[in-house]
């Protein structure tokens, strides 16, 4: 059966460049030239007959088509890698497979993994980034770090919770263009004429965290529906960059402190949405190796 797919090399280059929003970083990661990255991206865009990146002098951004393709390629590569890992003789015994989004991997897991690797150089790790995809299965990884609701309960299958309240952030330029200050806004200001046209960036339309945040501040009263337009951007890193670029508001957590400290984003509302965060999760049906247990226990002890 012949598959009508673009060249695999071009898809690999695209995934790296789209994930990092940088042709230079993709070239470094793949050990090729920046010109080769540009060539493969142009080749892919010609095959698909659409633009995948919006190019500026200093930065590239994903188009809507690029965002869609990034989600699919990451999910497909993760599934392919997991299958190869399972069927490759003698390989799985030497690795710990962790399901984690690129957002959490870059901002929370990576510094801790560096310290763990220094203490345990014999344990190698693999990260599967399709943890938020509908096709992700917890039994396919040794453990996962996933965003979810917090219930304060721990168990052998959920040994750690990291509660992280959510709060709205946006770029200073967005507030300036709306004629608002960068602090002391009331919750209801988001629905007022100055800010009502601004987009609320979200991961999924089925879970309206914006309305939940708005309702939480209503003191038991029936809140009005937030009429601000919603814009779905599934990848948290892309969503963060979109907010920095002034495309709308996004829900932030403590992992965005770097952007807040740098002044790229501001948090003008004092109100937060509790009850969410990240949890380490494992499957009852998967055998967890000694090395995976060591890493999981190390993370729990060093939070």
**Residue pLDDT, tens place only, 186-237:** 888 888 888 989 999 998 878 899 999 988 876 556 667 888 999 999 889 9
**The pLDDT value given to residue 87:** 59
**The pLDDT value given to residue 223:** 65
**Which residue is associated with the tokens 């100055």?**
194
Interval 52-63 mean pLDDT = 89
Beta bridge pairs of residue 60: 55
pLDDT digits (tens, 9 = 90+) for 4-22: 788 888 999 999 999 989 9
Confidence of residue 182 (pLDDT cuts 50, 70, 90): low
**Identical topology for domains 8-62 and 94-164+277-302:** no
Given CATH 3.40.190.10, say whether it is the number of domain 94-164+277-302.
yes
Interval 12-40 mean pLDDT = 91
The tokens of 55 are what? 């190019």
* CA 245/CA 169 separation, integer angstroms: 12
**The pLDDT value given to residue 1:** 47
Residue 86 CA: distances (Å) to CA of 81, 89, 96, 187, 194: 9, 8, 12, 50, 55
The tokens of 94 are what? 């030497």
The DSSP annotation for 182-219 comes to SS-B-GGGGGSTTTTTS-EEES-TTS-HHHHHHHHTST
Q: Structure pTM?
A: 0.66
pLDDT digits (tens, 9 = 90+) for 146-155: 999 998 888 8
Interval 108-112 mean pLDDT = 88
Structural contact between residues 156 and 288, judged by C-beta atoms closer than 8 angstroms: no
- What is the CATH topology of the domain spanning 8-62? Arc Repressor Mutant, subunit A (1.10.10)
∠ CA(246), CA(248), CA(250), 5° rounding?
A: 115
Class of domain 167-272: alpha beta
As to burial, measured by CB atoms within 10 angstroms (0-12 exposed, 13-18 middle, 19+ buried), residue 138 is middle
Confidence of residue 178 (pLDDT cuts 50, 70, 90): confident
* CA 229/CA 94 separation, integer angstroms: 48
Does pLDDT of 285 surpass 60?
yes
* CA 172/CA 245 separation, integer angstroms: 10
* CA 273/CA 266 separation, integer angstroms: 17
Residues recorded for the chain: 303
Closest CA to 281 of 265, 268, 269, 292: 292
pLDDT digits (tens, 9 = 90+) for 226-275: 889 999 998 899 999 999 999 999 999 999 999 999 999 999 998 899 99
* CA 166/CA 227 separation, integer angstroms: 20
Domain ranges of the chain: 8-62, 94-164+277-302, 167-272
Closest CA to 147 of 232, 257, 259, 251: 251
């Amino acid at each position: 059966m012949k598959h009508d797919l673009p060249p695999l090399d071009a898809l690999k280059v695209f995934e790296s460049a789209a994930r990092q929003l940088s042709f230079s970083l993709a070239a470094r990661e793949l050990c090729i030239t920046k010109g080769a990255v540009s060539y493969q991206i142009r080749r892919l865009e010609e095959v698909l007959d659409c633009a995948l990146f919006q190019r500026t002098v200093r930065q590239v951004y994903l188009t809507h088509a690029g965002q869609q393709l990034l989600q699919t390629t990451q999910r497909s590569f993760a599934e392919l890698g997991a299958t190869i890992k399972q069927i490759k003789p003698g390989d799985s015994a030497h690795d710990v497979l962790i399901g984690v989004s690129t957002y959490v991997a870059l901002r929370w897991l990576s510094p801790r993994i560096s310290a763990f690797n220094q203490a345990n150089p014999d344990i190698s790790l693999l990260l599967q980034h399709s943890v938020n995809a509908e096709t992700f299965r917890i039994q396919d990884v040794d453990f996962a770090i996933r965003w979810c609701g917090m219930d304060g309960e721990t168990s052998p299958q959920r040994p750690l919770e990291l509660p992280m309240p959510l709060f709205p952030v946006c770029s200073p330029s967005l507030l300036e263009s709306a004629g608002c200050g960068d602090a002391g806004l009331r919750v209801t200001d988001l629905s007022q004429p100055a800010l009502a046209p601004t987009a609320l960036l979200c991961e999924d339309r089925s879970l309206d965290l914006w309305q939940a945040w708005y309702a939480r501040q209503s003191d038991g009263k029936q809140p009005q529906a937030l009429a601000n337009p919603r814009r779905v951007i599934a990848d948290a890193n892309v969503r963060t960059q979109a907010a920095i670029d002034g495309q709308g508001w996004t829900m932030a957590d403590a992992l965005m402190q770097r952007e807040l400290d740098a002044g790229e984003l501001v948090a003008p509302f004092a109100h937060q949405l509790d009850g969410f965060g990240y949890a380490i999760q494992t499957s009852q049906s998967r055998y967890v190796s000694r090395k995976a247990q060591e890493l999981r226990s190390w993370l729990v002890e060093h939070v």
